[in-house]
Amino acid sequence: MGKDREPISEAADNDRELYEIANWYERTLLDRVAVSVYNGLRFVSRAVVILLSILLLLTLVALGGLGLLLDRPIVTVLVFFSVAPAFGLAAYVWYADPTTSEPLWLLLATFLLGLLFANFAAVINSLTQPLFVWIPIVGLSLYFYLVVAPIEEFVKLLAVRLYAFNSNSFDSVIDGAVYGAFAGLGFATIENALYVSRGLQTALQGSAGGEIPVLGIVAGTAAVRALAGPGHVIYSAFAGYYLGLAKFNPEDAGPIIVKGLLIAALIHGTYNSLSTVVPNALVAGLSLPPALATLAFIIGYVALFSYLPTGKLSGIRRCMRRSVLLHKREIDNYRDRNRCGAERFPPVL
C-alpha cells in the first residue's frame, strides 16, 4: 500500500506552484549544483569501494599465496576447472530467465565485482574469527551464522546493487536472481583460487620435492571446491531475487532485501555448520570413507537447494507461457467473433 500524499499537495489546486513547499525538482542553479555534487559523491564512493577491493586483491596476490598460481599454469587450470560447475549453474539461471536476456557485458561486470568484493569478506572474516574461537561447542557455528554467511552474502548483493541494479536491463524481478548468480560465481572463483593456492602452499611445505604429489593434493582441493562452488551461486541467487523484488516494490524495499539476505545467510551458514558434522556422522554411522562422506554431503546439500531457485525459474516460465497462450487465445477469440459477426451481418452495399 502506497503512502498518502503530502497534506499540502492534497489540499492545493493542481495548477498551484508547490516548489520547495511540498515537492522539489531541479529548477535553479543551486539545485543543479546540488544534483551534480550528489552524483559526484555517488561516483566517488563507488570508485573508492572498487579501488579498495582491487588493492586488497593485489595484496592477496603478493602476500596471500595467489601469486603462486601465476608461477604454475597447471594449478591455474585446476582453479578454472574447480569453477566450472558454478559457471554451469549460473549459465543455466541466465538461460532459464524467461524475460529479456541480460547483456553479457553487464553479467561480466557483476562477475568481476563479485570477485573483487569477496576480498572485503576475507578481511572481515579473518579479523573476527578470533572473537569466536574461545566459545566452546557452538563458537564455530556462531561464527558461520553471525559473520561469515551474512558478510559474504552482503558483499555479493552489493556487487549487484552497485552497478547492474541501476541498469535499464534490470527490468524484471527475476533479473535479480540472474545477476545474483553471477556475483556468486565471481565470489566462488576467487574463493576457489584462495583455497587452491593455500593447498599448494601446504603441499609444497610438506613435499619432499616431487611435483606429482603436490599436484595430486592440489587437484583434490580443486575437486572439493568444484562441488562447493555452486553453493555461492545458489545463495546469492536467492538474495538477488529478493533484491529484484525490492526494486519493483520500493515502498517495502528494505524489509524485502533483509528477507533475501536472511534466507541466503541461513542456507549458507547451515551448510558451513554441517559441512563437518554430517560427514563425520556418515563416517561413524555408515562406515563410509571420509572423502566419500564429504562428497555425499556436498552433492546432497547443493542439489537440494539448487532445486529451489531453478524450480522458481521454471514456475515463472510456465506462468509467462500461460499468459502468452491466454493472450493469444483472447486475440484468436476476438478475431473469431469479428469473423462470425461479419458473416452474420454482411456489409450493406
Summarised one tens digit per residue, pLDDT across range 21-60 is 556 777 788 888 988 999 999 889 989 999 999 998 888 7
Residue bearing cell 579498495:
52
Residue 341 lies in a domain: no
Tens-digit pLDDT profile for residues 156-174: 999 999 999 999 999 889 8
Q: Which residues of 142-151 are buried (b: 16+ CB within 10 A; e: fewer)?
A: ebbbebbbbb
What lies within 8 Å, CB to CB, of 145 at 6+ separation is 265, 266, 269, 273
Question: What whole-number distance in Å separates Cα of residue 82 and Cα of residue 3?
Answer: 49
pLDDT of residue 348 exceeding 70, the answer is no
Residue 167 lies in a domain: yes
pLDDT of residue 208 exceeding 50, the answer is yes
Residue bearing cell 564455530:
140
Residue 148 lies in a domain: yes
117's enclosing H/E stretch is: helix 104-128
Residue 68 pLDDT grade (very low, low, confident, very high; cuts 50, 70, 90): confident
pLDDT of residue 18 exceeding 70, the answer is no
Specify the pLDDT at position 19.
61
202 or 240, greater pLDDT: 240
Specify the pLDDT at position 121.
94
| % pLDDT > 70, the chain | 79
Residue 340 lies in a domain: no
Residue 203 pLDDT grade (very low, low, confident, very high; cuts 50, 70, 90): confident
Specify the pLDDT at position 218.
80
Residue 171 lies in a domain: yes
Instruction: Kindly report the average pLDDT of the chain as a whole number.
Output: 82
Specify the pLDDT at position 327.
47
Question: What whole-number distance in Å separates Cα of residue 156 and Cα of residue 113?
Answer: 8
- Mean predicted confidence (pLDDT) in 310-320: 61
Select from 323, 316, 50, 311 the least CA-distant residue to 175: 316
Residue type (1 letter), 39: N
Residue 323 lies in a domain: no
- Mean predicted confidence (pLDDT) in 97-105: 85
pLDDT of residue 151 exceeding 60, the answer is yes
pLDDT of residue 1 exceeding 50, the answer is no
Residue bearing cell 572423502:
291
Phi/psi at 19 (nearest 5 deg)? Answer: -60, 125
Residue 203 lies in a domain: yes
Cell numbers that stand for 11 in this block: 489540499
pLDDT of residue 12 exceeding 70, the answer is no
Specify the pLDDT at position 349.
35
pLDDT of residue 188 exceeding 60, the answer is yes
Specify the pLDDT at position 107.
96
The number of distinct structural domains making up the chain is 1
Residue 144 pLDDT grade (very low, low, confident, very high; cuts 50, 70, 90): very high
Specify the pLDDT at position 17.
58
Residue 201 lies in a domain: yes
Residue 127 pLDDT grade (very low, low, confident, very high; cuts 50, 70, 90): very high
Select from 192, 49, 58, 177 the least CA-distant residue to 107: 177
Domain that holds residue 111: 37-317
83 or 337, greater pLDDT: 83
pLDDT of residue 335 exceeding 90, the answer is no
The three state secondary structure string of 304-336 is: HHHHHHHHHHHHHHHHHHHHHHHHHHHHHHHHH
pLDDT of residue 8 exceeding 60, the answer is no
Q: By mean pLDDT, which of 39-43, 95-99, 222-226 is the weakest?
A: 95-99
203 or 347, greater pLDDT: 203
